[in-house]
Amino acid sequence: MSAKIKQELINPPRGTTDLLPNDFLYWDYFLSVINKYAGIYGFGKIETPIMEDTDLFVRSIGETTDIVEKEMFSFATRGGDKLTLRPEGTASVARAYITNGMSKWSQPVKLFYVWPMFRYERPQAGRRRQFNQAGFEILGGGDPIFDAQIIQLCWTVFEKLKLKNIAIQINSIGDAKCRSKYRSALVDYYRPRASKLCANCRVRLAKNPLRLMDCKEEKCVLIRSSAPQTIDYLCQECHDHFKSVLEYLDEINLPYMLNPYLVRGLDYYTKTVFEFISEGDEYRQSSLGGGGRYDTLIEMLGGEPTPAVGVALGIERIVEKIKEANISLGKKVSAKVFLVQLCDLAKKKSFKLFNDLIEAGVPAMESFGRGSIKSQLRVANRLKIKNVLIIGQKEALDNTVIIRDMESGTQEVADRAKIINIIRKKK
Residue 384's CATH number: 3.40.50.800
pLDDT at residue 281, as a whole number: 45
Same domain, 282 and 394: no
Residue 271's nearest CA partner among 263, 282, 261, 283 is 263
Residues 36, 137: one domain? yes
Q: Do 36 and 150 reside in the same domain of the chain?
A: yes
Residue 346 and residue 317 share a domain: no
| 381 and 248 within one domain | no
Q: Is 148 in the same domain as 92?
A: yes
pLDDT at 283: 41
Each residue's pLDDT, cut to its tens digit, for the chain (427 residues) gives: 455 677 888 999 988 999 999 999 999 999 999 999 999 999 999 999 999 999 999 999 887 777 888 899 999 999 999 999 999 999 999 999 999 999 999 999 999 999 999 999 777 666 789 999 999 999 999 999 999 999 999 999 999 999 999 999 999 999 988 888 888 888 899 899 888 889 888 888 888 888 888 788 888 889 888 889 989 999 999 999 999 999 999 999 999 999 998 988 677 899 999 999 998 744 455 899 999 999 999 999 999 999 999 999 999 999 999 999 888 886 666 788 999 998 889 999 999 999 999 899 999 998 887 678 888 888 888 888 999 999 999 999 999 999 999 989 899 999 989 999 999 888 7
Domain end residue (candidates: 275, 290, 324): 324
**Alpha-carbon span 25 to 332, nearest angstrom:** 9
pLDDT, position 203: 86
Does residue 89 fall inside a structural domain? yes
* pLDDT of amino acid 345: 92
- Residue range of the domain that includes 362: 337-425
Establish if 301 belongs to a structural domain. Answer: yes
Q: Examine residue 348 and state whether it is found in any structural domain, yes or no.
A: yes
pLDDT at 171: 96
Residues 185/178, Cβ–Cβ less than 8 Å: no
Rounded to whole angstroms, what are the CA distances from 164 to 167, 168, 317, 321?
Answer: 9, 12, 14, 9
Residues 90 and 154 in one domain: yes
CB 293 within 8 A of CB 271: yes
CA dihedral 342, 346, 348, 353 (to 10 degrees): -110
- pLDDT of 6: 74
Both 263 and 356 in one domain: the answer is no
Contact 391, 350 (CB under 8 A): yes
According to the model, what pLDDT value does residue 249 have?
A: 97
My answer on whether 169 and 242 are in the same domain is yes
Predicted structure pTM score: 0.86
134 lies in the same domain as 84: yes
Number of domains the chain is built from: 2
Question: In this structure, is residue 297 part of a structural domain?
Answer: yes
Last residue of a domain, one of 285, 300, 324: 324
The enclosing domain of 299 has a CATH number of: 3.30.930.10
Q: Are residues 167 and 250 in the same domain?
A: yes
Clarify whether residues 67 and 167 are in a common domain. Answer: yes
Q: Which residues, in sequence order, are CB contacts of 359 under 8 Å at separation 6+?
A: none
Of 262, 290, 324, which marks where a domain is finished? 324
Residue 316 lies in a domain: yes
- Is 114 among the domain residues? yes
